């Protein structure tokens, strides 16, 4: 029996994926749920498990190609005794804990050598596939321009080849954004930077997306930073005393992160405009706090999101942080789990950095950076106004904010609120 492997739908907003790497080659044996390939969407890179046991009979889509969701990408030859995964439709509203496997589909007809695009949407008098729309968006091709391209597909539909040919002769990109990365000419670069004095390395997909996102953010938001120091001594002492108990009861180590997230969530509820986005001249106030946490994974920086963090208690926040961070490092996150954030925290202190100025994660309007927490000598003043020198666990917090709607006074008050929440933390919230 032949089983199709199709490009899985990794999230409600995901319409296509790129084949990054095949872990198997034709003729290789594959087990049920064994990782068979790695794909990239415009949100995240993911390892995809095999939906069936058998032998990889054919790879239809090679590495580097981008195809629509539902497109056949490979074929597994199996037998009636081999198990085939029963794959339910993903519940995008649930708290997902695993990457959706590639969908298996039994076939009896020969596999075609080429795969036509599926028209899914109509504008004006023509259909445009998600793949064509994606290319148009990245290249700054407007709808009016698309309407003028002569299509070679069924019914005059514009195909990937048509838009690629158009881009070769196109002289202007009126709607291109400064965030668009253009492919450099490799031969020209080799002349300018000859070996062995130089090595030219191609950005991977995640690096390209990060570069575009960061440039777009700096171009969009006038960044202003405010920095405060925070005394973490009470929290550090509590961690030291409660570390074993917490790990026994919850199953993982107690870190500073849940304290930081919970204290920031409370500040966001007091300053709702920080939990917003901007569209034109309108401010979109978000009623829920979807808290993003930057995680350094082997593939690069990724920001998974704790949904409805304002509705979780301390242990719930701690569990979410631990779960998302672990799965981010092994590429087990779904695209829906790294989008929809309303505020982001980045902990560059984990690398020993004490101060940083992070870039806002668009379309959010602020981001909190946390420096390394270290013991320092500080001046202490008692109730009578007497000064003394003491050793305290101090960390610096940096708030980068969008000066279009957040001025220095508001940004400073919000940051001060976080510091107060941390320094006066109510430890009864932990258990």
List pLDDT tens digits, range 382-408: 999 999 999 999 999 999 999 999 999
What is the model's pLDDT at position 263? 98
User: Are both 310 and 233 inside the same structural domain?
Assistant: yes
Q: What are phi and psi of 111, to 5 degrees?
A: -80, 125
Q: Is the pLDDT reported for residue 114 higher than 80?
A: no
Both 203 and 227 in a single domain?
no
Tell me: do 324 and 361 sit in the same domain.
Answer: yes
Helix (H, G, I), strand (E, B) or coil at 376: strand
pLDDT at residue 178, rounded to an integer: 52
195 with 248, same domain: the answer is no
Q: What pLDDT score does 419 carry?
A: 98
User: CB of 223 within 8 A of CB of 400?
Assistant: yes
Whether 113 maps to a domain, the answer reads no
Of 23-37, 145-159, 333-347, 404-418, the range with the highest mean pLDDT is 404-418
99/168 same-domain check: no
Distance of alpha carbon 40 from the chain centroid = 11
Average pLDDT across the chain, whole number: 84
Please say if the pLDDT value at position 172 is more than 60.
Answer: no
Residues 276 and 394 in one domain: yes
Residue 105's pLDDT band (cuts 50, 70, 90): very low
Let me know if residue 331 belongs to a domain.
yes
266: nearest Cα among 401, 429, 392: 429
Considering the domain boundaries, does residue 19 fall inside one? yes
Q: Which two tokens stand for residue 276?
A: 């917003």
Residue 213 lies in a domain: no
Q: Are residues 316 and 378 in the same domain?
A: yes
Can you tell me the mean pLDDT for 249-258? Answer: 96
Strand order across the 103-107 sheet:
29-30, 54-59, 72-77, 2-6, 103-107
Q: What is the pLDDT of residue 81?
A: 45
Final residue belonging to a domain, choices 107, 133, 159: 107
Query: Could you tell me what percent of the chain has a pLDDT over 70?
Result: 83
| Contact call for residues 75 and 60 (beta carbons, < 8 A) | yes
Average of per-residue pLDDT across 328-332: 84
Distance, C-alpha 186 to centroid of its chain: 29
Q: Are residues 303 and 391 located together in one domain of the fold?
A: yes
Bridge partners, residue 46, by sequence: 39
Task: Let me know whether 174 and 234 are in one domain.
Answer: no
Catalytic residue among 65, 123, 244, 407: 407
Most confident by average pLDDT, 32-46, 318-332, 391-405:
391-405
Residue 112 lies in a domain: no
CATH code where residue 254 lies: 3.30.559.10
- Give yes or no: residues 91 and 162 share one domain: no
DSSP 8-state code for residue 365: S
Count of domains observed in the chain = 3
pLDDT score recorded for residue 238: 97
Q: What's the domain range around 129?
A: 122-208
- Rounded CA-CA distance 173/335 in Å is 29
pLDDT at residue 349, as a whole number: 95
Is 114 inside any structural domain?
no
β partners of residue 369: 346, 398
Q: Are residues 159 and 30 in the same domain?
A: no
* pLDDT band at 130; cut points 50, 70, 90: low
Q: What percent of the chain has pLDDT over 90?
A: 54
**Mean pLDDT on 62-90:** 72
What's the pLDDT at 96?
A: 38
In a domain, 217, yes or no: no
Q: What is the mean pLDDT of residues 362-367?
A: 96
For residues 171-178, average pLDDT: 45
Instruction: Write down which residue in 174, 208, 242 finishes a domain.
Output: 208
Q: Is residue 69 a contact partner of residue 335, using CB atoms and an 8 Å limit? A: no
CATH number, residue 68: 2.40.50.100
pLDDT value at residue 205: 75
The reply to whether 291 and 405 lie within a common domain is: yes
pLDDT higher at 97 or 371: 371
Provide the sign of the torsion angle of the four alpha carbons 382, 385, 390, 395, taken in this order: positive
List CB contacts of 278: < 8 A, sequence separation 6 or more: 284, 363, 365, 402, 404, 405
What's the pLDDT at 139? Answer: 74
Question: Which residue among 83, 107, 131 closes a domain?
Answer: 107
The span from the CA of 385 to the CA of 390, in Å, is 15
d(CA 312, CA 306): 9
Q: What is the mean pLDDT of residues 92-104?
A: 43
User: Looking at residue 13, what is its pLDDT?
Assistant: 60
Residue 403: count other Cβ atoms within 10 Å of its Cβ.
Answer: 13
CB 133 within 8 A of CB 145: no
Whether residue 219 lies in the annotated active site: no
Q: Residue 104 pLDDT more than 50?
A: no
Cα–Cα dist 10/45, whole Å: 10
Per the annotation, the verdict on 65 as an active-site residue is no
Lowest average pLDDT, out of 62-71, 162-171, 399-408, goes to: 162-171
């Amino acid at each position: 029996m032949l089983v199709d492997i199709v490009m899985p739908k990794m999230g409600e907003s995901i319409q296509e994926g790129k084949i990054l790497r095949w872990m198997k080659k034709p003729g290789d044996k594959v087990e049920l749920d064994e990782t068979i390939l790695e794909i990239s969407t415009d949100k995240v890179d993911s390892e995809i498990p095999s939906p069936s046991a058998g032998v990889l009979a054919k790879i239809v889509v090679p590495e580097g190609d981008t195809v629509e969701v539902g497109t056949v990408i490979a074929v597994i030859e199996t037998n009636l005794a081999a198990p085939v995964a029963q794959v339910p439709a993903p519940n995008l509203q649930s708290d997902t804990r695993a990457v959706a496997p590639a969908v298996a589909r039994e076939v009896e007809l020969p596999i075609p050598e080429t795969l036509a695009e599926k028209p899914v949407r109509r504008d004006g008098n023509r259909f445009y596939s998600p793949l064509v729309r994606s290319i148009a968006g990245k290249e700054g091709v407007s709808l009016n321009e698309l309407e003028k391209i002569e299509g070679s597909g069924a019914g005059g539909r514009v195909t990937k080849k048509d838009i690629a040919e158009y881009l070769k002769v196109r002289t202007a990109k009126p709607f291109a954004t400064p965030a668009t990365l253009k492919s450099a000419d490799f031969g020209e670069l080799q002349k300018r930077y000859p070996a062995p004095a130089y090595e030219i390395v191609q950005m991977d997909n995640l690096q390209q997306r990060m570069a575009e996102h960061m440039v777009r953010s700096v171009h969009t938001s006038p960044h202003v930073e405010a920095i405060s120091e925070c005394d973490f001594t009470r929290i550090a002492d509590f961690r030291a005393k409660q570390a074993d108990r917490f790990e026994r009861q919850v199953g993982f180590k107690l870190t500073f992160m849940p304290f930081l997230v919970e204290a920031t969530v409370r500040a966001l509820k007091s300053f709702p405009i920080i939990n917003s986005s901007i569209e034109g001249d309108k401010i979109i106030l978000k009623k829920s706090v979807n808290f993003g946490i930057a995680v350094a994974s082997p593939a690069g920086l990724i920001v998974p999101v704790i949904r409805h963090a304002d509705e979780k208690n301390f242990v719930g926040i701690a569990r979410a942080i631990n779960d998302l961070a672990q799965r981010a490092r092994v590429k087990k996150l779904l695209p829906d789990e790294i989008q929809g954030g309303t505020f982001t925290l980045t902990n560059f202190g984990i690398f020993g950095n004490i101060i940083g100025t992070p870039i806002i994660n668009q379309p959010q309007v602020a981001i909190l950076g946390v420096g390394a927490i270290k013991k320092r000598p500080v001046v202490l003043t008692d109730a009578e106004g007497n000064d003394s020198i003491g050793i305290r666990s101090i960390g610096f917090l940096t708030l980068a904010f969008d000066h279009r709607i957040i001025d220095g006074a508001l940004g400073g008050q919000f940051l001060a609120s976080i510091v107060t929440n941390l320094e006066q933390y109510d430890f009864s919230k932990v258990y």
